[in-house]
Amino acid sequence: MSQVLLGRTNRYVFPVWARGHLTGDGSAEARAERLMDALLASPIETLDISPAPALWGRFLRERANRLQIAVATPTNLLLHAPDARIAANLLQSHIIETLCAVGRTHIDYYFLSLHETPNETQLSGALEALELARQEGQIGAIGLAAYGKPLAILALWRTHDAFEVALLPDEAERLQTLLPEAHARRAGVVVLTDGSRPPDKGQVALTPIEQAVALASALHK
Q: How far apart, in whole angstroms, are the C-alpha atoms of residue 140 and residue 57?
A: 18
* pLDDT tens-digit map of 186-215: 999 999 999 888 899 999 999 999 999 999
Kindly tell me if the per-residue pLDDT of 220 is higher than 90: no
- What is the model's pTM? 0.95
Contact between 207 and 215 under an 8 Å Cβ cutoff? The reply is yes
Superfamily for 13-76+104-118+131-220? NADP-dependent oxidoreductase domain (3.20.20.100)
Neighbour-count burial for 87-107, b at 16+ CB within 10 Å, e otherwise? bbebbbebbeebbebbeeeeb
Beta strands of 91-178 (E only): which ranges? 107-114, 139-146, 165-169
Output 203 or 21, whichever has higher pLDDT. Answer: 203
pLDDT at 175: 96
Output 133 or 76, whichever has higher pLDDT. Answer: 133
Q: What percent of the chain has pLDDT over 70?
A: 98
Pairing of strands 139-146, 107-114: parallel
pLDDT at 221: 64
Mean pLDDT across 124-148: 96
Beta bridge partners of 190: 167, 204
Q: At 5, which helix (H) or strand (E)?
A: strand 4-5
